[in-house]
Amino acid sequence: MHPTEQYQKIIDYLENNKPAEGIEALQSFAAQYHSEVANALRMRKAEYKELEQESLLLGYTSSIRERKSALKLQLFKLADLILAQASEKKTTSSSAPEASTNPESQKPIYDTPKGEGPVKVFLAYAKGDENAAEALRKSFSLLQHTRKISLFDGHQHIIGDRWQAINRALAESEIVLLVLSNNFIADAECLNLQETAFQWHQQKRLVLIPVQYSPCEWKELDIGRLQALPRNDRFISTWPNRDEAHTLVSRELGQLIKTVRTQLEYTPFAQEPAMAMQPNVDIEALLSLFRQGKTPELVSGLVEQTGHNTELQDRALLLEQQWTAWNFDSKQNLDTPGNLYIRKNQLENGLLKLIRDLSA
């Protein structure tokens, strides 16, 4: 079925007050074109079931009506988001070679393995910022010419399936540069990319550097605590002489590549030895992350430190799904501020209870 037909079918379900069928159709739609919203849809489905149960117990109260209306609006927004992604994929696939029949799509992103040869640098930016990316690429020309870096462009160097290529590029890269702008903040793909890159930065699988290009509010993102370039905290587009700003970024990159490989861990995670005994759980460190509001780091820490206990890890993984869904809905404005506040409190209560149970 064509994406627009699937979309219209979902809209018909929702407009005819058939949210259960609409959610099922949305999940199928997302599986084909936008798997990143799967967690958000699972949460919406659970919320719908909870509302149905409350309706049976309490009747169709005004509060339940308001929550159902809010849920319906979220589902409409998700349908719009998936349709936009489906349209983009259709446009990309119509002009790109078939991944399944093109052996080039299976080749490594870079000419040499990670940790060898030129330092691998991923330049990530949003559509609409091509000129900004081109200016940065020019400033890196000498580093490329002298084989100090190998540059992967997230828009120019895609062969075959775009998503697979980007994931492989992240896995093979040692430095990721995020070109920040309002275009970047408004791009769901860029937001997902920065979340993944930030997690790998924390795991010392790559070094992540925000590049402040044009004025935007980015400090609330996961990457908000990282040192950005240029170091004077001034967006490049506001410089009287942008070439000077580009040169400063290139110079900083040139300094970083001298030491970056001493900062990273190159052992593949799949080959790491398994723990033979229960790990020494650092409860104080987890509580410290909780007090500081560092939810992504706390969730990752809980998933890691509950590996010895299946029941506790299942709870940690569920909390991770809840955090991912809340974070996505918050950034995409898919839920009301009131509901987001309630869900965040529920998440924090679950995290704190898990920490206490883990300490016991």
Q: For 249-259, what is each residue's pLDDT tens digit?
A: 999 999 999 99
For residue 239, pLDDT over 70 is answered with yes
Q: What is the structure's pLDDT at 107?
A: 63
Do the Cβ atoms of 328 and 359 come closer than 8 Å? no
3-state secondary structure 6-60: HHHHHHHHHHCCCHHHHHHHHHHHHHHHCHHHHHHHHHHHHHHHHHHHHHHHHCC
Residue 59 has pLDDT above 90, yes or no: no
Q: Which long-range contacts (CB under 8 A, 24 or more apart) does 252-255 make?
A: 253/121, 253/140, 253/143, 253/149, 253/175, 253/177, 253/209, 254/143, 254/148
Give the distance, in angstroms, between the CA of residue 268 and the centroid of all CA atoms in the same chain: 21
d(CA 312, CA 278): 13
Q: Determine how many CB atoms are found less than 10 A away from the CB of residue 314.
A: 11
Over residues 205-216, the mean pLDDT reads 95
Least confident segment among 10-14, 90-94, 239-243: 90-94
What mean pLDDT is predicted for residues 294-313? 82
- Pick from 317, 137, 295, 128: which is nearest to 214 by CA? 128
Name the pLDDT band for 178 (thresholds 50, 70, 90). Answer: very high
Q: Where does the chain show beta strands of DSSP type E? A: 119-124, 149-153, 175-180, 207-212
Contact 325, 360 (CB under 8 A): no
Phi, psi of 175 (to 5 degrees): -130, 135
Q: How far apart are CA 27 and CA 13, in angstroms?
A: 13
> Sign of the C-alpha dihedral, residues 57, 59, 63, 69?
positive
pLDDT at 101: 44
pLDDT digits (tens, 9 = 90+) for 261-302: 998 987 544 333 333 334 456 788 888 888 888 898 888 888
How confident is the model at residue 269, as a pLDDT? 43
Which pLDDT score, from 0 to 100, does residue 160 have? 55
Q: Are 301 and 353 in contact (CB under 8 A)?
A: no
* Higher per-residue pLDDT: 238 or 60: 238
Higher pLDDT pick, 276 / 340 = 340
What pTM, to 2 d.p., does this model score? 0.49
Q: Do residues 330 and 258 make contact, with C-beta atoms less than 8 angstroms apart?
A: no
State how far the alpha carbon of 311 is from the alpha carbons of 282, 315, 317, 354, 357, in Å.
19, 7, 10, 11, 11
Tokens of 227: 């040192």
The answer to whether residue 86 scores a pLDDT higher than 60 is yes
Q: Which of 123-132, 157-166, 344-353 has the lowest mean pLDDT?
A: 157-166
Angle ∠(35,133,170) on CA atoms, nearest 5: 40
Of 35-39, 51-55, 206-210, give the range with the top mean pLDDT: 206-210
Q: Is 28 exposed, middle or buried (0-12, 13-18, 19+ CB in 10 A)?
A: middle
Cβ atoms of residues 71 and 48 within 8 Å: yes
What local confidence, expressed as pLDDT, does residue 161 receive? 61
Q: Which residues contact 238 (CB under 8 A, 6 or more apart)?
A: 215
Residue 257 phi, psi dihedral angles, 5° rounding: -65, -15
